[in-house]
Chains A and B, each alone.
Chain A
């Protein structure tokens, strides 16, 4: 095998050395249960509280508004099922909820499940460049709309959604309403690069994940604005303000805290990554019949998603893997699916052309040399695959 180049940071990121170092004591000597009264418990309780503080500072909220979960998927489920459950208890009449057609399955499938259970749901379509326009959300809002979830940045095509604008719209509408609309955003892909100030964004709930920001897998967090009606979906010992029972993953949560700290420290790196991204886009589009998916301007600094006609995405991923380059066809989750990407379909690609899509996502440890190597290999691989016919 040649050298290994990782260009799939949207799937997951490597753990930063500093994160691992911060976690180590809690995997070794500081093993206490944070709920214990004794000294062992006190140490780990403090560690969790410190992460809560860091997260609160990062999101510009108070510490009591942060709940740690076992993953971002779980945090999304808590946000969606938890709020809807609480609202169902409060409002006795049928109500309406809204999301978009380009959400991650961790949001899309809970909404589909609620629809099956009889809740009225609208799935708002994006425009051709993968942006859900505020005016479309406005159009979808009804008198009985109570909950809206729009992702901050798309995991497949990297398009950045106008969360601040939608937040403003909703808070405007809420002024004249008895029953407020609650606004959630899945910010998993956004945390590294975008402003996540919840006051500015005017969101009531926000989801983030540790393993997308150089932290460990198995940790997510949910911001829940004070006063938001929410019920737990997991019951037990009443951990995390009663919203997420289960002994805390102390080392993981500490890792998340360190990872959040490092996001702020590495903010200056964004420009470098963006330049590498632009270099890729420019070069890849020189391949005949290659097309960029999603907006060129409103996209994450680390995301490139292209459709290359005449080649299957799966074949490209495998061929590049043989050259030591790790990329993906879409989301890592969709690799298990038979269906074409729902995101690419939503922005108007035909089912056939979704099969030739390739997602290249960069990160903190990506170097210019790696990109040059990738750009040298890709056109050759595409050319070879396009020429292949069965033996």
Chain B
């Protein structure tokens, strides 16, 4: 790739990863523009700013841009973020589902809204500090190329789970400078480039929630208390509102004689169904909707894959089957039952290191009971 005169817009958060990504692009000879995105945040006494983009983070990103001598712009996506990410998250919770805001943020904010800005800025590419790799492959006997999305070299940091919604057209214009680096190497590079980004704690919380998720949900949704029942329908107690519980949860149910686990949320009857038998949480099958194939071409099903049902889940062997009726829907059957398959979360399909695609978990077989 000719790097000279190629313009890259890099999303900078003020953290170590995106800062090093920007530095590497600059060093490689690209014409780099740094952008910092403003996201919406709950406004509380304790927290006024989104964790991903506080004024401190903005100042750091700006300082890094200054050190690298690249132009730097702050883009205000608060309105888009509130509508597409926060409102969607709340809508899903209300339906008894747990969505992953990071997946949606990548889809709508980074790779739609920011992509448009990249073009406006005259950028040829958009770069992020994600730990993933992109590979360009030639298709045999064809002139066109295909872009593959691969797991990062650093398996601990791999973030491919969040990017299953990417399309070929997006991948074509994306650069992931950290895909071939380990976190340690990135730390050393930050030192080498003298970037003031070391020792900043990484947040695991949902970025737009002020104090706690429970407080946030109380403020934006109306919790409706109801009955806690076992699988046979026996009433065991009262719940505070289904929005506060997630599938597989053990702590905070408030029943004696446990431990009990949250098995299912029946939003229609406002029932929290629990079980004492943890084995009940394990299921073999799920139905995924909104399925996206990175290659853009749906493979011939059935195929064997490894499927990952949440960010911290180890991909497990499974077979993907066609479902009878709907397009972009796939039936996933695991070889062995998996714990707490949660509607609303993403399921991502891997073939060795390659992300084939993914979908949103719609139902599990439990739901059919």
Given A390-B112, A391-B169: A318 and B121 within 8 A (CB)? yes
**A322 interface residue per 8 A CB criterion:** yes
Bound: A101/B173 CA distance, A: 45
Bound: A319/B79 CA distance, A: 21
Tell me whether A338 and B71 are in contact (CB under 8 A): no
| A352 → B minimal CB distance (Å) | 12
Q: Which B-chain residue is minimally distant from A317 (CB atoms)? A: B73
Tell me whether B121 and A322 are in contact (CB under 8 A): yes
**B170 interface residue per 8 A CB criterion:** yes
Q: Mark B82-99, 1 if CB is under 8 A from A, else 0.
A: 000000000000000000
Tell me whether B115 and A388 are in contact (CB under 8 A): no
Q: Which residues of A contact B71 (CB under 8 A)?
A: 321-322
Tell me whether B170 and A391 are in contact (CB under 8 A): yes
Tell me whether B76 and A385 are in contact (CB under 8 A): no
Within 8 A of A (CB), among B76-134: 76, 78-79, 112, 115-122
Bound: A388/B71 CA distance, A: 21
Which of B75, B115, B122 has a CB less than 8 Å from the CB of A391? B115
**B250 interface residue per 8 A CB criterion:** no
Q: Which A-chain residue is minimally distant from B117 (CB atoms)? A: A315
Q: Which residues of A contact B75 (CB under 8 A)?
A: 314
Tell me whether B121 and A338 are in contact (CB under 8 A): no
Q: Which residues of A contact B121 (CB under 8 A)?
A: 318-319, 322
Q: Mark A331-366, 1 if CB is under 8 A from B, else 0.
A: 000000010000000000000000000000000000
Q: Which A-chain residue is minimally distant from B33 (CB atoms)? A: A322
**B183 interface residue per 8 A CB criterion:** no
| B33 → A minimal CB distance (Å) | 8
**B172 interface residue per 8 A CB criterion:** yes
Q: Which residues of B contact A289 (CB under 8 A)?
A: none
Q: Which residues of A contact B169 (CB under 8 A)?
A: 391
Tell me whether A318 and B73 are in contact (CB under 8 A): yes
Bound: A388/B122 CA distance, A: 10
Q: Which residues of A contact B79 (CB under 8 A)?
A: 338
Q: Which residues of B contact A385 (CB under 8 A)?
A: 120
Bound: A311/B146 CA distance, A: 33
Bound: A391/B119 CA distance, A: 8
List residues of chain A with CB under 8 Å of any chain B CB: 314-315, 318-319, 321-322, 338, 385, 388-391
Can you list 21 A-B contacts with CB-CB less than 8 angstroms, sorted by A residue number?
A: A314-B75, A314-B76, A315-B117, A318-B73, A318-B120, A318-B121, A321-B73, A338-B76, A388-B116, A388-B119, A388-B120, A389-B116, A390-B112, A390-B115, A390-B119, A391-B118, A391-B119, A391-B169, A391-B170, A391-B172, A391-B173
